[in-house]
Chain A
C-alpha cells in the first residue's frame, strides 16, 4: 500500500520538528528515514502511524486521507525501539494480542489464532520460545517477537522506529540482513527510522535523508551515497575531510596552495572567486611526501596510524594556523610501500573531490556533525 504525506508541519513548544514535509512512499518498498537525532524522523513516523497528530498537513494511505483515523483503525504495524512487549504475557500471548482484542465478530476462532501465531513465530524463527516471557529473551529475540506481534493483525504498512537501536553491534548486523530477507518475502510497504547511515544504505530500497525538519535528499542508497545533493548529506553518509577555499581556474585554491593540480569538473561550473567547501572522503585522499618543489596539496603532519583490518587509517593535523584534523584511509600494502610513519610531514592531495558553494554552510555542517 502506498503512503503519502503532504505538507506535514509539527511543532513542540518553540521547536519545529517537521517543517512542511511532503513525501511519497511507493507500495511494497522498504524505505529508510535517515537523519541525526532531533531531525524529525521519528515524529514523522509517529504521525504516519497516528500516534501523534500533525499541526497541519495530511497523511494519505492508499490515496485516502487518514489524518482523522485513530491509530487502532489505521491498520499499521508499529515496532518500537524498546520493543514495548507486554511483560506479563508470554511470547505466544504477545503475538496473539492483536487477534484477541478484535471485536467478537471479526475475531478468529481459538484454533485459527493458534495456527496463525504458530505460523508467525515460525516466520520469525522463534517458535520454540512460545511459552517464554519477554524477560527471558535476548534483545534481538524480543525485537523479532515485537515484529511478529505487529504482523499478526495483517497491517497494511509496517513502521519501525529505530528497530535495532537498542541492540549491540553484532546482533544489529544479523537482524538487518534478516529484516531485508523478511521484507523480500512479505513485500509489505515498510518505513524504518534510523540514525545509522550504514544500516539505512544496506537494508533499504530507498533512503530519505532528513535534517532539522526538512527532507534533504531522496533516492536509492547507491544514488544518495555517490551523488549527495547537499553538504549535509555528504557529511552524514560517511567520514569526510573538508577544505574551505576559492575557485581559481576550475580548481580549488586554499589560502596559500592549490588543493589539486588538475581542473575538477565539479569546480569548473562555478564562477571564479566563489567561496566553496571541497569535500573529500578519507579513501579518496592521497598522501604525498613533503617536497619543496611540490606546492599542490595541503601540508599536514601524521599524528597517528591505526592499522587494523584491511584498511589502515591515518590521522593527520594540518600545518596551517587552524591545525585542522584530517583522516586518510589506504590499504595496508600501500601504507607499507609508502613507508609512512607517525610524526612525518606530508602533503595531502585528493583524487576525487565534491565541491559545494558556501552559503550558510556552518549551519549545514553543524547538522552533519563535522
Chain B
C-alpha cells in the first residue's frame, strides 16, 4: 500500500488549486483580455495610438511623478517610522493611526480635500500662490521701485492644477506603504548595533549610512515599490487636483478614461497594455534590486 500521508501539513492540492483558479479569474484572465483586445489593432495602428504625443506626455507625468512621489515617501516615511518606533511622545498612538488614513479614505475624498486646500483660494494655496503680490504691495508702500515690485510679484508656487499638485496627491496616498513596511524592521533593530558603532567612534550619519541603512534597505525598497505601484494606478485623488491640462497634467489612467468616453475601446486597451508592461518592468527591476539587497543582509543574519 502506498503511504498516504507524505506531508504532515495537509491540504496542499486543495489550496493550490483554489489559489490558481482564484488568481486566474481575478488577475490573469482580465489582464490577458487587455492584450487580446489590444491585438484588434494592427501593429502600426497600435503604435500610432500609444505613441501619440498627448499619450506619451501622460506616461511621463504618470511614471515620472510616481517615481518622484515614491522616492520622497521613502525618505519621509522612514523618518516617520523612525520617530514612531524610537521615541515616545504624547499623541504617538494617534499619529500611528493617522498614518493608515490614506489607506482607508476614498481617494475622491482625498482629491477634493487636497484641491480645496491647495487651490488659489484654499487655506494653503492662498499663501503659496501669491505671496509675491503681497510682498510687492508692501514694497511699493515702503517706497520701492515699480520694477522690483513687479519682480517680487512673480514669486509664488501654484500647486493645484499643475504636476506639482499631482505629486502632492501621490505622496499623500503612498505614505503608509513605506511607513508600514519599514516599521517592523526598525522595531526589530537592536539599539546595541548603534551603540557599538558609536563606541567605535562612528558619527551619527556614519552609523546610519554603514550600519542602519544596509539593514533597512530591503524593506525600504519594498515600501518604495508598493508606493510606486499605488501611485501609478491612482486615479481618484489625482483627477481633481491635476487640472487635466493636455500635455501638462494629464495622467495615463485619465487618457484611458478619455478614450473610453469616446467609445474608443480598442485605443483605451492599447494604452492600458503599455501601462501594464511599463509597470511590470519597473516593479520587476525594483524586486530584483530588493532581492539582491535582502540576500546580502540575510546572509549575515
Beyond A101-B210, A134-B300, A135-B300, is A153–B196 a contact (Cβ under 8 Å)? no
Contact of B192 among A77, A82, A134 (CB under 8 A): A82
A296 CB–B CB distance under 8 Å: no
B261 CB–A CB distance under 8 Å: no
Contacts of B203 in A (CB 8 A): 72, 101
Looking at the assembled complex, report how far the CB atom of B153 sits from the nearest CB atom of chain A, in whole angstroms: 48
Q: In the bound complex, do residue A84 and residue B195 qualify as a contact, i.e. CB atoms below 8 Å apart?
A: yes
A313 CB–B CB distance under 8 Å: no
Q: Which of A22-30, A86-94, A222-230, A233-241 contacts B (4 or more CB under 8 A)?
A: A86-94
B197 CB–A CB distance under 8 Å: yes
- Which of B181-230 touch A at CB < 8 Å? 190, 192-193, 195-203, 206, 210-211, 214-215
A20 to B299, CA, bound (A): 46
A6 CB–B CB distance under 8 Å: no
Q: In the bound complex, do residue A49 and residue B210 qualify as a contact, i.e. CB atoms below 8 Å apart?
A: no
A123 CB–B CB distance under 8 Å: no
Contacts of A86 in B (CB 8 A): 193, 196-197, 210-211, 300
Q: In the bound complex, do residue B200 and residue A88 qualify as a contact, i.e. CB atoms below 8 Å apart?
A: no
Q: In the bound complex, do residue B199 and residue A51 qualify as a contact, i.e. CB atoms below 8 Å apart?
A: yes
B residues lining the A interface (CB < 8 Å): 190, 192-193, 195-203, 206, 210-211, 214-215, 296-297, 299-301
A80 CB–B CB distance under 8 Å: yes
Q: In the bound complex, do residue A135 and residue B199 qualify as a contact, i.e. CB atoms below 8 Å apart?
A: no
Contacts of B201 in A (CB 8 A): 72-73, 98, 101-102, 153
Q: In the bound complex, do residue A135 and residue B192 qualify as a contact, i.e. CB atoms below 8 Å apart?
A: no
Beyond A84-B192, A133-B300, is A149–B215 a contact (Cβ under 8 Å)? no
Looking at the assembled complex, report how far the CB atom of A106 sits from the nearest CB atom of chain B, in whole angstroms: 9
6 contacts between A and B (CB under 8 A): A50-B199, A51-B195, A70-B198, A72-B198, A152-B200, A153-B200
Q: In the bound complex, do residue B300 and residue A82 qualify as a contact, i.e. CB atoms below 8 Å apart?
A: no
Contact of A101 among B195, B206, B215 (CB under 8 A): B206
Contacts of B215 in A (CB 8 A): 87-88
Contacts of A71 in B (CB 8 A): 195, 198-199
Q: A51-B198, A72-B198, A101-B201 are in contact. List 14 more A-B contacts (CB 8 A).
A: A50-B199, A71-B195, A71-B198, A72-B200, A76-B199, A80-B196, A84-B193, A86-B193, A86-B210, A87-B215, A88-B300, A97-B202, A134-B300, A149-B196
Contacts of A88 in B (CB 8 A): 214-215, 296-297, 300
Q: In the bound complex, do residue A101 and residue B300 qualify as a contact, i.e. CB atoms below 8 Å apart?
A: no
A150 CB–B CB distance under 8 Å: yes
Contacts of A9 in B (CB 8 A): none
Looking at the assembled complex, report how far the CB atom of A143 sits from the nearest CB atom of chain B, in whole angstroms: 13
Q: In the bound complex, do residue A133 and residue B299 qualify as a contact, i.e. CB atoms below 8 Å apart?
A: yes
Contacts of B192 in A (CB 8 A): 80, 82, 84
Query: 8 closest A-B pairs (Cβ-Cβ)?
Result: A87-B300, A98-B200, A84-B192, A84-B196, A101-B202, A78-B199, A133-B300, A88-B214
Looking at the assembled complex, report how far the CB atom of B200 sits from the nearest CB atom of chain A, in whole angstroms: 4
A149 to B211, CA, bound (A): 15
- Closest chain A residue to B214, Cβ basis: A88
Contacts of A73 in B (CB 8 A): 201
Contacts of B211 in A (CB 8 A): 86
A73 to B200, CA, bound (A): 9
